[in-house]
Amino acid sequence: MITASHLTRRFGAFTAVDDVSFHLDAGEVVGFLGPNGAGKTTTLRMLTGYLPATSGGVEIAGLDVLRQSLAVRRRIGYLPEAVPLYREHRVDEMLTFQARLHGLGRGEARRRIGAVLDRVGMASRARALVGKLSKGQRQRVGLAVALLPEPDVLILDEPTSGLDPLQRIEVRKLIGELARERTVLISSHILPEIEAVCPRVLVVVRGRVVADGTPAQLVRQLGQPSHVRLEAVVPDPAEAVRLLGTLEGVRAVADRGRLGIHHQFDVQTDVDLREDVGAVAASRGWALRELSWCQPTLEELFARLALELGPDRAAGADPAPAAPAPPVADALAASGPLQLDVSGPSAVPPEPAAPEPVGPESAPPRRVYNLNPFDQGETRDLGRPKAVDDGGPGGEQGGGAAAGERPS
Amino acid sequence: MSRRGAGTGRWTRAGIALQVTAAAVLAAVAAALVPWLAERPGLHRRADLSAARHGSLDPATVELLDVFDEPVAVEVFFRLPDPPWREVGAEVQARTREFLLRARAAAPTRLRVVDHDLGDVATVKERMRDLRIAEHNLVNVLVVHSGDRRAVLELFKDVSEVDMGNPVPGAGYAPASVRVFRAEEAFAGALKKISAGEPPRVLFSSGHGERDLYGTESRQLGRLHTALVRDGFVAEPWDATAEPRIPDDVVVLALVDPRQPFTPEELDAIRTFVDRGGRVLAAPGPDAPTGPRTLHDLVREWGALVPPGLVCRPQVDPYTKQKHEGIQRCADLLIASDGMAPGHPVTRPLYRGQRHVRLPIAGAVERGSVPPGGVLIDVLSSTTDSWRDLPDARGYYDYSFRDGEEPGPFSLAAAITFPPRVDPEGPPAPGVEPDSAEERESRVLVLPCPDALGQELFDANRDLLLNAFNWLASRDFRVSVTPRDPSRAVLDLSDGGDMATMVRVASYGLPGACLLVGILFGLWRRRS
Amino acid sequence: MRGAWTIYRRELAGLFLTPLGWILLFVALLVRGILFTIYLDRLGGEVNAALSLTQGGSVLYWVLMVLLPPLLTMRMVSEEASTGLLEFLLTAPVTDAAVVAGKLLAATTFMALLWSTSFLYAGTAHLLGAAPDWGALLAAYLGSVLASGLFCSIGLAASAVTNTPLIAAFVAVIVNVLLLFVPLVRANAGQLLHLPPDHWLLDAMRQVDLLDHLSGSAWVGVVDSAHVLFFLAWTALFGFLAVRLVETRRWR
């Protein structure tokens, strides 16, 4: 449905989009993910034909965006980030205007306006002035405007930016519904909504597509390997490592060292082996403190990609680029946008120490209070994870220091 | 990383900038070309929506412009007159310029207007010399020319007539005003003049004590000559001793106050000329000797008798309203429009324009026997209180009405036309297109008042004389255009009259209504 | 075509949905009304002359003509570019030319509405018994509308240059005033430029001399194809320029 080939766009000396190629099949819902300033909006504008590419081309439904511009525009519903609406018009007037632009008949326009307003939940505010609507309502009206011509392709630029969480959920739900019917391309710098809606994600960093795949694929192939974390009182750590390593499905076991009287292990595996690990612990009589299934999230991955490919400040905050971690991005970038199966060497690192960017010595110790009532209130290095975070599968909402999360 | 050179972006942008610029330039050229094209005669359309059609020229005038191969140029040499006529001068100049603008708009490709800045004396002098009008040292003239033919229109004579009013402040003060403004007529006349074929040739007989064609004294004809040349004639003296026969290309022969008889050869030449369809202006002096072979004798052959004596009329004192006789000024006749033939081409424009003709020391014309098929029309006539003053034995006039003197009215000028007495197979009449049957006639204008042609009173009689010569030469350049002054609609300005209503509507009503509607509309939008 | 019509309706409605349109209309009506009555008074109640002064020839007419179109058009592109509405319009299934044409027509229609109040004055005079020269007024009105169209297209082009409406208005006013300087320079070319009066440059200047075009036709009650086409052509030129400028926005 959408084919972008070698899209490049320069603004003067600055290259906003650099040789981006991708393809969307009809009915696909794709998230366009990237930090602010990564070239998402520029790419979307090129897709809609608003901006011509410096080089490269876009075809939508087999039509060249620049040469058959009008035909393409008829097939696209585009909601720019600014949600352009005439403030002095009423909601239904704005929609009528859009209907006229698309050449809809009067009756057809009225029917569709009613339907589309119902859909975005704005039917009761049809006579309200656009200028008096709240940001979330305006966003929904914008969506209604984009939906009105019943386009084959829906391109939404940051549809949830500036919304409060409640509105965000509403809009996300709405998009989720739409996604069932048409090809949708959503750009965002916020992961959860992409994750929630899009089966496929394109990650753009500094004008280049660095990753393309389903969130699961991306996570599996790009992120830290999933593991079962075990924290227990272990008499012989080496024996424990050996024992855990014998479990079926375990690729490796990392000894993460001693925490007080407890010892921490990461059992790297693709499947949830908590029961097996728990059984081992029980059979050996290890006093369990934590047993959790840790799956790297897309967010973690995204933050890593963004940071590692980001400008200098990322490098400054990340003083240990020596390990294979940077090649993740570089390899991706060098090989162009691609499916991640061919990605870099760190995709499945045998040793967990490999991708760790922050050495424990280099981070100054910081004091935090442990909220665990059973703990004795000892202070510890923040760099060392303590299992106060829930660590549930995919439940990592706090985001943040992906790089610092895994000390050796 | 990029597949293309780093300069691609810059070059693309430069290319697009170039494209945009080129497109803009092309569009500008097109925008300039469209009006140019629209001015082409075939594509040009004008619709005058005004009630009086005052915005456009008479179609006949526009048609006149079609005749010319190369565009007609009007060169304007205007300078404001000094006070107290500055205002009226400015008005005439403004109206003339406005007329020229309209004329140019009506025929943009065929008319060029060049407005000279008289502050730049040297350039203007040079230009006037180029146009061969420098000798007149004129300001406030329009020179209409095409190719090497030109006509000069004087702003305060041809284009307009100005009533000078009474410039003296105090009682009786009257501001100067425009009495007649006839730019279009003048312009159309000038066009006709310069579009006509070869300039008609006028011969003035000489060698019999006639008025000198080039003379600058008060009774001589220098200014008439200038005016004729400017009006598109070629005027030359006829020396019968050197050129006994009148050449074929001569159209008009002017015989102005010969004091001696013609020789028989000359008479033959004149008769032959007239019989072929030639035209004659005969101005026998009322005091000139009569007898055989004189001009008096000659005009009798064409049906005009010039009896002896001067036509006089009582002079009215402008203050006392008393009539005076016995003074020489009684012979100085001022002929108003009631003394003009309304329909004759010579006097029609004067009659319409309510103008005057001044005939000092004029004789009368009586009807004699006109050649067969001929017509004699009295063109000018005196009033009923005039008389023909006869000289006493010593040849002196007493300018008073005595017994035995004939009372008026008298004819003062007669226009005679008759078919040429020449066989149709002969050479065609001079200066006349051979196939225009109606023009194949001989014309004689008898005006027994040679002083009317002289320098001194030339301004007063200029139009009469030019009309006469043009009629004689079958040149009808006096175009009459129906007056098309803008229609008038006047409101009553008195207190409480229409003006108050107008103020209420225009100054308060409409803006107020607009404000009200706007506020109501805004409230309505906000409410729901 | 349909796109242009849709944009035109939207823009025209937009002018009246914002206070700006009403304020401009009110001010123009007020000033024109007061001046019409003053003209009428000065001219001794001569309705036709006063009406023609409201449709050209007076200084105030030109002040309105130079100031109002830029104020109307200043926001049409530049503000929409900054609010993103331009992005919306340019990704809607209408051509750029249709967008510009619609906006241009809307601004011109507003100006036409403004000038049309002369008909109300004339109608009032007619009812009061002084029947005006309706044909001449109509011709003068057409001239005013055509000239407004030209100024509106200049304003639109200026608006397409910049993202700041006020700068757009300023640029447009400057261009308009320069355009009106042409007749002035032409009239005094001898002293100012030391040109002979039949210099080709003066002929070229006559081409863009608005006063020459108006006074040769509209102001004397004539509709002249050459002059109508002059205005249409130059309006189209600046409209075209505006289209290209909107287009170059995509490249900037």
SS (H, E, C) B183-237: HHHHHHHHHHHHHCCCCCEEEEECCCCCCCCCCCCCCCCHHHHHHHHHCCCEEEE
**B257 and B238 in a common domain:** yes
| A82 to C6: CB separation less than 8 angstroms, yes or no | no
Report which residue type is found at B522: G
Question: Running DSSP on this structure, what letter comes out for residue A257?
Answer: E
State pLDDT tens for residues C125-181.
Answer: 888 888 888 988 999 999 999 999 999 999 999 999 888 899 999 999 999 999 988
Read off the pLDDT of each residue in B132-137 and give the average, rounded to a whole number: 61
Looking at the complex, report in whole angstroms how far the Cα of residue C9 sits from the nearest Cα belonging to chain A: 9
pLDDT of residue A252: 84
Cis check for the bond before A151: say yes or no (omega within 30 of 0): no
User: For residue B11, what are its two tokens?
Assistant: 């070059």
Nearest alpha carbon to residue B56 among B184, B187, B160: B184
B122: nearest CA in chain C? Answer: C196
Tell me which of C83 and A376 has the higher pLDDT. Answer: C83
Choose among B34, B56, B506: nearest Cβ to C233: B34
pLDDT of residue B50: 81
**B166 and B68 in a common domain:** yes
**B329 and B250 in a common domain:** yes
CA-to-CA distance for C155 and B481, rounded, in angstroms? Answer: 45
On the question of pLDDT at B350 being above 80, the answer is: yes
pLDDT of residue B240: 78
pLDDT of residue A320: 35
The residues near C21 (Cβ < 8 Å, ≥ 6 apart) are C15, C72, C110
Tell me which of B404 and A347 has the higher pLDDT. Answer: B404
CA-to-CA distance for A42 and B444, rounded, in angstroms? Answer: 96
pLDDT of residue B109: 82
Is position B342 within any domain?
yes
Choose among A48, A49, A82: nearest Cβ to C84: A82
Is position B269 within any domain?
yes
pLDDT of residue A321: 35
Q: Strands B250-256 and B177-181, how do they pair?
A: unpaired
Averaged confidence pLDDT in chain B: 82
**B185 and B227 in a common domain:** no
**B67 and B40 in a common domain:** no
Q: Which of B133-137, B435-439, C172-176 has the highest mean pLDDT?
A: C172-176
Structural domains for chain A: 2-213 (3.40.50.300), 226-295+359-392 (3.30.70)
| B1 to A333: CB separation less than 8 angstroms, yes or no | yes
Is position B7 within any domain?
no
pLDDT of residue B528: 63
Long-range contacts, stretch B211-215, CB < 8 angstroms, 24+ apart = B211/B256, B211/B257, B211/B450, B211/B453, B211/B454, B213/B237, B215/B455
State pLDDT tens for residues C37-62.
Answer: 888 888 888 888 888 888 887 888 89
| C222 to B47: CB separation less than 8 angstroms, yes or no | yes
**B161 and B36 in a common domain:** no
On the question of pLDDT at C114 being above 80, the answer is: yes
Partner A contacted by B12 (CB < 8 A): yes
A122: left (phi over 0), alpha (psi -120 to 50) or beta: alpha
pLDDT of residue A318: 36
Chains with ≥3 CB–CB distances under 8 Å to A = B, C
Q: How many CB pairs under 8 A join A and C?
A: 65
**CA end-to-end distance (rounded Å), chain C:** 28
Tell me which of C30 and B20 has the higher pLDDT. Answer: C30
pLDDT of residue A395: 38
3-state helix, strand, coil in chain B (%, to 5): 35, 20, 45
Question: Mutating which of C10, C18, C76, C91 best tests the A interface, going by the most A Cβ atoms within 10 A?
Answer: C91
Q: Could you tell me the pLDDT band of residue B155, with boundaries at 50, 70 and 90?
A: confident
**B424 and B300 in a common domain:** yes
**B414 and B324 in a common domain:** yes
Q: Could you tell me the pLDDT band of residue C83, with boundaries at 50, 70 and 90?
A: confident
The residues near B371 (Cβ < 8 Å, ≥ 6 apart) are B301, B302, B303, B418, B421, B442
State pLDDT tens for residues B297-343.
Answer: 889 889 999 888 889 988 887 777 788 888 888 888 888 888 998 88
CA-to-CA distance for A64 and A73, rounded, in angstroms? Answer: 11
Question: Mutating which of B1, B20, B524 best tests the A interface, going by the most A Cβ atoms within 10 A?
Answer: B1
3-state helix, strand, coil in chain A (%, to 5): 35, 25, 40
**B111 and B215 in a common domain:** no
Is position B86 within any domain?
yes
State pLDDT tens for residues A214-259.
Answer: 877 777 666 666 788 888 888 888 888 888 888 888 888 888 888 8
> Nearest 5°: phi and psi at C182?
-55, -50
State pLDDT tens for residues C29-39.
Answer: 999 999 898 88
| A101 to C92: CB separation less than 8 angstroms, yes or no | yes
CA-to-CA distance for A363 and C82, rounded, in angstroms? Answer: 45
Report which residue type is found at A368: V
> Nearest 5°: phi and psi at B400?
-130, 155
Residues A363 and A406: beta-carbon distance below 8 Å = no
| B506 to C45: CB separation less than 8 angstroms, yes or no | no
Q: Could you tell me the pLDDT band of residue B12, with boundaries at 50, 70 and 90?
A: low
**B223 and B163 in a common domain:** no
Total number of domains constituting chain C:
1
State pLDDT tens for residues B169-210.
Answer: 777 777 788 877 888 888 888 888 787 767 788 999 988 888
Report which residue type is found at A87: R
Chains with ≥3 CB–CB distances under 8 Å to B = A, C
Nearest alpha carbon to residue C203 among C225, C180, C182: C182
| B515 to C221: CB separation less than 8 angstroms, yes or no | no
- Domain final residue pick, B167, B193, B219: B193
Q: Could you tell me the pLDDT band of residue B439, with boundaries at 50, 70 and 90?
A: low
| C131 to B47: CB separation less than 8 angstroms, yes or no | no
Looking at the complex, report in whole angstroms how far the Cα of residue C71 sits from the nearest Cα belonging to chain B: 18
pLDDT of residue B373: 85
Is position B227 within any domain?
yes
Is position B335 within any domain?
yes
Is position B483 within any domain?
no
Looking at the complex, report in whole angstroms how far the Cα of residue C179 sits from the nearest Cα belonging to chain A: 34
Residue B227: give its domain's CATH number. Answer: 3.40.50.880
Nearest alpha carbon to residue B88 among B165, B143, B185, B157: B165
On the question of pLDDT at B500 being above 80, the answer is: yes
Percent of chain C with pLDDT strictly greater than 90: 39
| B506 to C33: CB separation less than 8 angstroms, yes or no | yes
Residue B144: give its domain's CATH number. Answer: 3.40.30
**B120 and B169 in a common domain:** yes
**B317 and B235 in a common domain:** yes
- Radius of gyration in angstroms for the set of CA atoms belonging to chain B, rounded to a whole number: 31
Total number of domains constituting chain B:
4
The residue segments making up the domain with residue B499 are: 491-515
Read off the pLDDT of each residue in C223-228 and give the average, rounded to a whole number: 88
CA-to-CA distance for A200 and A214, rounded, in angstroms? Answer: 4
Read off the pLDDT of each residue in B491-509 and give the average, rounded to a whole number: 80
| B31 to C233: CB separation less than 8 angstroms, yes or no | yes
What interface predicted TM-score (ipTM) does this complex get?
Answer: 0.88
Question: Running DSSP on this structure, what letter comes out for residue B80?
Answer: P
> Which portions of chain A are predicted below pLDDT 50?
309-408
Nearest alpha carbon to residue B286 among B304, B309, B258: B309
State pLDDT tens for residues B80-92.
Answer: 888 778 888 888 9
Nearest alpha carbon to residue C147 among C51, C62, C49, C72: C62
The residue segments making up the domain with residue C30 are: 2-249
A6: nearest CA in chain B? Answer: B3
Q: Could you tell me the pLDDT band of residue C6, with boundaries at 50, 70 and 90?
A: very high
Choose among B491, B506, B507: nearest Cβ to C45: B491
CA-to-CA distance for C218 and B125, rounded, in angstroms? Answer: 36
Percent of chain B with pLDDT strictly greater than 90: 10
Interfacial B residues in 63-122 facing C (CB < 8 Å)? 98, 101-102, 104-105, 108, 112, 114-117, 119-120
